[in-house]
Amino acid sequence: MATTSARAHPGQDCTDRVTIALRVLETTDLHGHIHGYDYFNDCLCPATGFARIATLIEQARAEAPNTLLFDNGDFLQGTPLAQYFGLARSLAAHERHPMIAAMNLAGYDAGTLGNHEFDYGLDYLQQVVAGANFPMVSANMVTRPGPTPQQDETLLPPWVVLEREMRASDGALHRLRIGVIGFLPPQTELWARDALDGKARTRAYLEAARAHLPALHAQGVDLVVALAHTGIAPLPEGLDPESKALEHAALALAGLDRIDVLLCGHTHLPFPDPGMTPNAGIDPLRGSLLGKPALSAGRWGSHLGVLDLTLTQAPDGRWRIADFETALRPIRIGGAPDRPEPLPEAPEVLLSVADAHQETLGHLRQEVGRLTSPVNSFFSLVAPDPIMSFLAEAQAQFARLRLAGRPEAKLPILSAVAPFKCGGRGGPGYFIDLPAGPLVLANIDDVYVYSNSVTALRLNGAQVREWLERAAGIFAQVTPGAQDQPLIDPEFPCYNFDMLFGLSYRIDPSQPARYAPDGQMRAPWARRVDDIRLNGLPIRDTQEFILVTNSYRSSGAGHFIAPDHPLVPLGRPVLSRDLLEDTIRASASLAPRPTEVWRFAPLPGTSAIFETSPRAAPCLPLADGPEMQPLGQTTEGFLRMRLFFDAETSAMRTISTQCA
């Protein structure tokens, strides 16, 4: 993506007044990407990494007389390096986390937390944050709720006031007071329920903001910058913006008088973005929310957010925004239009993490087993693949052992799994692609990228039906008889496409989706999933099952089940990736095969298009699978694939082992 910028002119003439030019820089959703390195495939990666962002930061600072640098959270999880330090290796008493060490070098002014900061536990997070040379704020993560939100004890200070000397247009120095307040998704208390262990809870965005902004404003601040780890999206119809159910709250926060600047994130989507559809209050060209400047700097170190403010002094002596310009600077620029060149990595950042990088590589290169044939996730959204089948069976076997001798052991066991890496916003390289041969720990992290644990729920047949309908929302509605229609809803994350192993069922994408991508009921009358069978017999709404899933899903994430639905105890918690590793280690060699689960309904004369890895073509045809035809690559590098619905094909997809 080329540099995106937008300029706003509120109408105030600044030409004859003393002004201050303040440049605000943002990073967000770094997710442990420090060195531009693909740990899964053990090779350099030019498209990500804070080390390149550090180069952009240095350049941006050199261009402006006054700068502030902020991070918007989700910096601690997301790469094998981050997972190694979070799970396999503890930090020494005064050791700094590699991500914090790199951020300290960049000289941040403040930061906040995202939901993934809690993945490795509260104690670990507090140790990591203690190593930061800059203040961290969070207004709605509460360790001891008070009688009112104003009296809460928060995990971190809810806000901080930065005093900075800034050079004005007349050459004089002026002392400005910048208020910084932080927010994270209220759903964090559910998504990180195991890690928080009842030691912290959240408040809704607006509840916390209204509680703490008056005290911050009373400090005589000139501006308030909200570090809001939340998405930029229209407010959901029918959802109270005061509710803790609101996840993407940037627009709601922009409506508060005492917030002047919004630095956002969480969704990994860039803002400003000329390709985004404008919406009420959202101007993706100007980079504004309800007229206020806003940024969201992509993910994994893809962009640096740059906000240039022009400040003028009000009669009360405080400095106010008279004009602004927003921009995103990518770490890949120049070169051919379709092959931009990456910026150089900052050598001081690479040096700061050199030991951690080598230590991580030594850990990840440990062999745990062998594959007798290649496996990949190229077709995981249209055909169950060997990887999902293997994980589903490992989960089911784990539950059988843990439930042995208990009444629940008599119930049918279903195993819910979903693919994590299927391209989409991750790009054409964001797929699993493992060759035959040795399996190493990096491959385990590649297959299971999150630190979820195995959990189980007791559901009836009616709840199972709703679970399947929720998952089937991944498909765009197709028109029977029409050709080359989009197959996948781009707003639907692939990690919410749960497949329930132990059942067989059929999905008809010509029917409307019952649920919207965010999990809200959209068409109560609609049904896409039918012919749901267990051992060849139709399931009954009153029939009971044990459904094995993960802690993220059972917490209510994705709106598959209520957050307070009771768990079936499985004893000592086991991480899903650890279960996968243990199962692989117990086998001398692996030849995973797909298991029959679901199929598309026949739609004669109908075809649809989906995008997959450019490496997928040699894997065709799929034995006993739907007919597909490669159509060439997109400008982004995906392979477009045409899928035909002419016959009711079995869900049994034995993927060719001839993949190159």
pLDDT tens column, 475-529: 999 999 999 999 999 999 999 999 999 999 999 999 999 999 999 999 999 999 9
Three-class SS of residue 608? Answer: strand
DSSP 58: H
What count of other Cβ atoms lies within 10 Å of the Cβ of residue 144? 12
pLDDT class of 11 with cuts at 50, 70, 90: very low
**pLDDT band at 648; cut points 50, 70, 90:** low
Return mean pLDDT, the chain: 93
pLDDT given for residue 651 in this prediction:
39
Higher pLDDT, 152 or 652: 152
Cross-strand bridge partners of residue 294: 262
Confidence of residue 368 (pLDDT cuts 50, 70, 90): very high
Residue 638: pLDDT over 90: yes
Instruction: Give per-residue pLDDT as tens, 534-553.
Output: 999 999 999 999 999 999 99
Give the pairing type, strands 544-550 and 598-600. unpaired
Please state the three-class secondary structure of 254-296 as a single string.
Answer: HCCCCCCEEEECCCCCCECCCCCCCECCEECCCCEECCEEEEE
Write the CB contacts of 535 (distance below 8 Å, at least 6 apart in sequence): none
Better-scored residue on pLDDT, 509 or 651 = 509
Check pLDDT > 60 for residue 113: yes
What pLDDT is recorded for position 337?
Answer: 54
Least confident of 132-136, 236-240, 336-340: 336-340
Element (H, E) at 532: strand 529-534
pLDDT of residue 352: 96
pLDDT band at 13 (very low <50, low <70, confident <90, very high): low
Q: Average of pLDDT values for 50-56?
A: 98
- The SS3 call for residue 185 is coil
What's at 418, amino acid-wise? A
Please write the tens of the pLDDT for every residue from 572-612: 999 999 999 999 999 878 888 888 899 999 999 999 999 99
Rounded-to-integer distance, Cα 318 and Cα 650, Å:
69
What is the Cα gyration radius of the chain? 25
- Please report the sign of the dihedral spanned by the C-alpha atoms of residue 244, residue 246, residue 247, residue 252: negative
User: Could you tell me the pLDDT band of residue 624, with boundaries at 50, 70 and 90?
Assistant: low
Global confidence as pTM: 0.90
Whether 399 contacts 570, CB under 8 Å: yes
Helix (H) or strand (E) holding 191: helix 188-191
Which tokens is 125 given?
């997070």
Question: pLDDT (tens digit, 9 = 90+) per residue, 459-471?
Answer: 999 999 999 999 9
- Residue range 60-88: mean pLDDT, rounded: 97
Q: Rounded distance, CA 307 to CA 262, Å? A: 10
Rounded to 5 degrees, φ, ψ at 628 are: -135, 155
The residue-averaged pLDDT of 327-342 equals 77
Q: What is the pLDDT of residues 339-351, one digit of tens each?
A: 678 899 999 999 9
pLDDT at site 335: 56
Give me the percent of the chain exceeding a pLDDT of 70. 94
pLDDT in tens, 403-448: 999 999 999 999 999 999 999 988 999 999 999 999 999 999 999 9
Q: Classify 366-644 by CATH class.
A: alpha beta
On the question of pLDDT at 334 being above 80, the answer is no
Contact between 118 and 229 under an 8 Å Cβ cutoff? The reply is no
- Listed by start position, the domains of the chain span 4-359, 366-644
Tell me yes or no: is domain 4-359 CATH 3.40.30.10: no
Q: Of 244, 228, 238, nearest to 184 (Cα)?
A: 228
Continuous H helices in 365-431: 386-403
| pLDDT recorded at residue 15 | 58
Residue 653 has what pLDDT? 37
Q: Residue 652 in 3-state DSSP?
A: coil
Model confidence band, residue 237 (pLDDT cutoffs 50, 70, 90): confident
Comparing 27-36, 96-105, 254-263, 269-278, the range with the smallest average pLDDT is 269-278
